[in-house]
């Protein structure tokens, strides 16, 4: 219970502000339970309706969630505080971050011709040459390219679209396990997450059908390099998902192709199947540079109008300097060769660890991308055990909704020569865990 922080206020607005302040300052951490409505009302000398209104506002803004008989608790990723990954302890090999190998990224340099003076680009928010380059990039993969737009990264675009399309309390079908920042974003928008199980081929059709029956108004999925599971759509899986989605033409389908050029798997897109509402999103941060906060998207005309209309009211456009930098890299032959080498290198590193784990009887998943998902019984025991061997990996709890426990290993900087040692240490940790907790 929230006994260490005194909630104050005599109005619904004041009570909500007091709780928000406690969350923002860290006095009310994720999962901390707030007092029951009637008890807090008695303590503050206000009506239960006033407290209920305050809690409703906090729920709407993604700061708290209600768990039925479990009461009202601070959200796992409250909208007033971001969930940062734990700091990597000194001396450990970091395989938790999910970042690309910096040795496989091109050197970033701003364009030599800078925009003269201070002027608005609202009339022409996108560089025409970059639009053409994006169409040339997407078209060979079968993505319709009649309507394209830009954003400040995939999360920026997805967050804007969901905020325009949906209202707090609406349901979104999300991969489980899935990308933790996306899960946090959807929760922070006050939306209800409906988990959809995944396997090596991506979302499971029967699970997606169940999510749509549960009222999901949007679907967010990864066609390849799914994070953290590493799945990718097969042709058969893509067709099966399309059949499910065709029954719900008003549902917005968001296809997040975040790793694209270094995914190590072909794109089998949902967007070419004649769906009513769709958007295909691509970023470049995984293979051109993590500071390039830029995303391209192709979408249906309604989605384009809604996204760009909201963008116009906020930042207005993506920096033309950033656009020019991305354009230069996309057209640079040396950079293209480096990206191709990165895709081959990540596939080699991923395959090496999969083989080494498999030889020791450890099941793992990761047919594309830069991550492996390893099912385990006790995440904490495995994470802490590998820490004692000098490895730092990610516990699966950050990525899971209702799926079974597991851990994520990022292989971007794991040389094949080190894979055997990591697999051997992993097997030792599992043996120690079984000895401690029983096999």
The tens digit of pLDDT for each residue in 231-248 reads 999 999 999 999 999 999
Closest CA to 338 of 104, 155, 99, 6: 104
Percentage with pLDDT > 70 across the chain: 94
Assign residue 31 a region: left if phi > 0, alpha if psi is -120 to 50, beta otherwise?
A: left
pLDDT at residue 122, rounded to an integer: 80
Does position 438 have pLDDT exceeding 90, yes or no?
no
In whole angstroms, what is the distance from residue 326 CA to residue 323 CA?
A: 5
Least confident of 19-33, 107-121, 206-220, 410-424: 107-121
pLDDT at residue 62, rounded to an integer: 79
Indicate where the chain has its CATH 3.40.640.10 domain(s). 126-333
In the CATH hierarchy, which top-level class contains the domain 12-74?
Answer: mainly alpha
The phi and psi torsions of 24 (rounded to 5 degrees) equal: -65, -35
- Helix 154-165 / helix 180-188 crossing angle, nearest 10 deg: 30
Indicate where the chain has its CATH 3.90.1150.10 domain(s). 93-101+336-437
Indicate where the chain has its CATH 1.10.10.10 domain(s). 12-74
**Contact between 405 and 377 (Cβ < 8 Å):** yes
In whole angstroms, what is the distance from residue 437 CA to residue 62 CA?
A: 37
Compute the CA torsion angle 246, 137, 256, 369 (nearest 10 deg): 120
The helix or strand, by DSSP H or E, that contains position 407, with its residue range, turns out to be strand 406-410
- Fold (topology level) of 93-101+336-437: 3.90.1150
Q: What is the pLDDT of residues 120-154, one digit of tens each?
A: 678 889 999 999 999 999 999 999 999 999 999 99
297 contact partners, CB below 8 Å, separation of at least 6 = 148, 149, 150, 151, 157, 279, 280, 281, 282, 307
pLDDT at residue 432, rounded to an integer: 83
Please state the pTM of the whole predicted model: 0.85
pLDDT at residue 70, rounded to an integer: 76
CATH number listed for the domain at residues 126-333? 3.40.640.10
């Amino acid at each position: 219970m929230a006994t260490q922080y005194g909630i104050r206020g005599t109005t619904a607005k004041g009570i909500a502000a007091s709780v928000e302040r406690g969350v923002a300052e860290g006095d009310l951490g994720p999962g901390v339970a707030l007092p029951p409505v009637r008890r807090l009302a008695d303590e503050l000398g206000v009506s239960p309706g006033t407290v209920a209104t305050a809690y409703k506002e906090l729920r709407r803004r993604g700061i708290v969630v209600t768990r039925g008989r479990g009461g009202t608790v601070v959200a796992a990723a409250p909208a007033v505080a971001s969930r940062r990954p734990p700091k990597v302890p000194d001396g450990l090999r970091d395989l938790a971050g999910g970042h690309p190998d910096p040795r496989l990224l091109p050197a970033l340099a701003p364009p030599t011709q800078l925009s003269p003076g201070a002027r608005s680009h609202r009339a022409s928010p996108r560089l025409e040459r970059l639009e053409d380059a994006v169409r040339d990039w997407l078209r060979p993969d079968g993505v319709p390219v009649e309507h394209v737009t830009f954003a400040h990264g995939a999360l920026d675009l997805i967050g804007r679209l969901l905020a325009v399309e949906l209202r707090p309390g609406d349901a979104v079908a999300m991969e489980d396990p899935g990308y933790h920042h996306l899960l946090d974003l959807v929760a922070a928008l006050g939306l209800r997450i409906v988990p959809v199980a995944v396997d090596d081929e991506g979302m499971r059709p029967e699970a997606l059908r169940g999510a749509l029956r549960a009222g999901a108004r949007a679907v967010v999925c990864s066609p390849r390099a799914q994070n953290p599971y590493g799945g990718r759509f097969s042709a058969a899986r893509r067709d099966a998902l399309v059949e499910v989605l065709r029954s719900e033409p008003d549902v917005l389908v968001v296809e997040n192709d975040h790793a694209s050029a270094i995914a190590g798997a072909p794109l089998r897109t949902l967007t070419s199947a004649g769906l009513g509402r769709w958007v295909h999103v691509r970023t470049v941060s995984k293979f051109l540079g993590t500071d390039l906060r830029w995303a391209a998207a192709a979408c249906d005309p309604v989605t384009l109008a809604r996204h760009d209309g909201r963008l116009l009211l906020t930042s207005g456009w993506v920096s033309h300097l950033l656009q020019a930098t991305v354009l230069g890299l996309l057209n640079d032959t040396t950079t293209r060769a480096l990206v191709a080498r990165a895709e081959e290198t990540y596939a080699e590193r991923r395959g090496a660890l999969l083989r080494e784990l498999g030889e020791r009887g450890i099941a793992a998943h990761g047919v594309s991308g830069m991550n492996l998902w390893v099912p385990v019984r006790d995440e904490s025991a495995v994470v802490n055990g590998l820490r004692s061997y000098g490895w730092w990996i990610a516990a699966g709890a950050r990525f899971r909704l209702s799926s079974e426990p597991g851990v994520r290993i990022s292989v971007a900087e794991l040389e094949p020569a080190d894979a055997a040692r990591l697999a051997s240490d992993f097997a030792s940790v599992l043996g120690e865990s079984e000895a401690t907790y029983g096999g």
